[in-house]
Amino acid sequence: MSIIRNILNSRYKGSGNFFMELRKILGFKPKNIKHYVTAFTHRSMNIRDKKGNVINYERLEFLGDAMLGAVIASHLYTEVPSGDEGYLTKMRSKVVSREHLNELGKELHLIDLVESKIPPGQFGDNIHGNLFEALVGAIFLDRGYKYCENFIYKRIITPYVDIEKLEGKVISYKSLLIEWCQKEKKTFGYNVYEDTGNDDVRHFSVKLSIDNKVVAKARATSKKKAEEKASKRAFFAFQKSISKMI
């Protein structure tokens, strides 16, 4: 507990009161602050408890992910009685997509509460979603399922879960395009190569071919982003046919 107290004390000395900022985000008073301290402790701090167990948000991230999945699944199960297992699974994935969780984390400015030895500007986008999941996990440990469920409804379901809009939302253009190609028995391939050019940051270019014909090109700072960008462009080229699967 002294380790947690030391981390908490360092935050009180910073730009703002950790407890008060946290209470604004949660909408209720935390009972056991140590869970939330852990939820905002980055692995770069290299902190361990007396038993040698690592203290950072990654285990809470795992727990929060499970709680999000359970609450969202329960909501969809109730709201869409006609949806089969495949439909419900796809819809849940859209609600808890990495992109959406990252947006939620940014909206709440969770990164401002992180204790880390790494400058905030060096974090990738996914830390925002990771922190949101860790926060949900901390709420569950601190206050139980009902508080956790209420928080998820307040921050996700009520403002963002619109069944009709979700049905038309695409999570991954690459996955959708591959599924369509396989269904239509079309050959496809992503030719990715490094293309830094005059940029200081490393870039990659991709050529997406379908049935041996290049249908889209894209460039981005990672192979994954370049492939997704090219897939999105290809999606709009074949939108009428692909949209039937969504």
Active-site position among 133, 149, 227, 228: 133
Report how far residue 70's alpha carbon sits from residue 169's, in angstroms, rounded to the nearest whole number. Answer: 21
Element (H, E) at 117: none
Element (H, E) at 40: none
Long-range Cβ pairs for the range 153-156 (8 Å, 24+): 153/71, 153/75, 154/27, 155/104, 155/108, 156/68, 156/72, 156/95, 156/104
Q: Does residue 65 have an active-site annotation?
A: yes
Report how far residue 226's alpha carbon sits from residue 207's, in angstroms, rounded to the nearest whole number. Answer: 9
Q: Does residue 211 have an active-site annotation?
A: no
Active-site position among 61, 65, 115, 228: 65
Neighbours of 202 (CB within 10 A): 10
Residues known to be catalytic: 65, 133
